[in-house]
Amino acid sequence: MKCTLLELPYAYNALAPIISKETIEYHHGKHHQTYVTNLNNLIAGTTFEEEDLETIVRKSDGGIYNNAAQIWNHNFYFLSLTPDKGTKPNDKLTKAIDDTWGSFEKFQTAFNQSAATLFGSGWAWLVKDVDGRLSIVNESNAGNPVTKGLTPLLTFDVWEHAYYIDYRNRRLDYISALWNLINWDKVNKRYEH
């Protein structure tokens, strides 16, 4: 199936000042669009041409996987953000976080450290396993936890293109600020699914 660029549910300037309009223009409008264009070119005439994006991520490798997974990861990331303040983890997710890390603050600290110390480029993920246990995993480059049977709940994009315009090399400042944009309503639904 032909892949299309995700239409964001918010304006390009809606996440400012944490993520600027310029960053979204490059990150979504140019960078993300390139993955879409590349994938459509790569799957033309292959068995993946009629598959949905998640199936391509699960079953492909090489260039097809890299572009498909980056589209999937970026879609997930952009849909995890909101300009609407005040969402928070629901009681079930809060309990699971507390049971795993001791408190939400300790979870945030662990997640921030994991994301900040991922070497090179990639993604920090909050995931649950088939038994509902939570964990934080890092994936390099286009890595995606669905290929390991995990259910992604939240991700932070820690490729430099996600933050360099606004934060330069201050990855931890970007990560710390990003918590103000998390759409916990989405994360709660993913946890309960």
Q: Residue 45: helix, strand or coil by DSSP?
A: coil
Q: Quote the CA–CA distance of 133 and 149 in Å, as a whole number.
A: 13
In the sheet that 151-157 helps form, which strands lie side by side, from edge to edge? Answer: 134-140, 122-128, 151-157
| Confidence grade of residue 193 (pLDDT, cut at 50, 70, 90) | confident
Residue where a domain stops, chosen among 37, 54, 79: 79
User: Looking at residues 141-167, what average pLDDT do you find?
Assistant: 97
Query: pLDDT at position 142, please?
Result: 97
CB 156, CB 150: distance < 8 Å: no
Instruction: Say yes or no: 99 and 163 in one domain.
Output: yes
pLDDT digits (tens, 9 = 90+) for 35-70: 999 999 999 999 999 999 999 999 999 999 999 999
Query: pLDDT at position 43, please?
Result: 98
User: Looking at residues 74-89, what average pLDDT do you find?
Assistant: 96
Instruction: Say yes or no: 126 and 177 in one domain.
Output: yes
Instruction: Say yes or no: 35 and 103 in one domain.
Output: no
| Pick from 82-86, 98-102, 164-168, 169-173: least confident | 82-86
| Confidence grade of residue 168 (pLDDT, cut at 50, 70, 90) | very high
pLDDT of 1 strictly over 80: no
User: Looking at residues 137-166, what average pLDDT do you find?
Assistant: 97
Selection from 92, 86, 164 nearest residue 121 by Cα: 164
Q: Quote the CA–CA distance of 105 and 98 in Å, as a whole number.
A: 9
Averaged pLDDT of the chain: 97
Query: pLDDT at position 86, please?
Result: 85
Residue where a domain stops, chosen among 48, 79, 110: 79
Instruction: Say yes or no: 44 and 111 in one domain.
Output: no
pLDDT of 119 strictly over 80: yes
Domain of residue 126 covers 91-192
| Pick from 38-42, 57-61, 82-86, 172-176: least confident | 82-86
User: Looking at residues 100-115, what average pLDDT do you find?
Assistant: 98
- Domain harbouring 133, CATH code: 3.55.40.20
Instruction: Say yes or no: 95 and 186 in one domain.
Output: yes
Residue 69 lies in a domain: yes
Domain count of the fold of the chain: 2
Percentage of the chain lying above the pLDDT 70 cut: 100
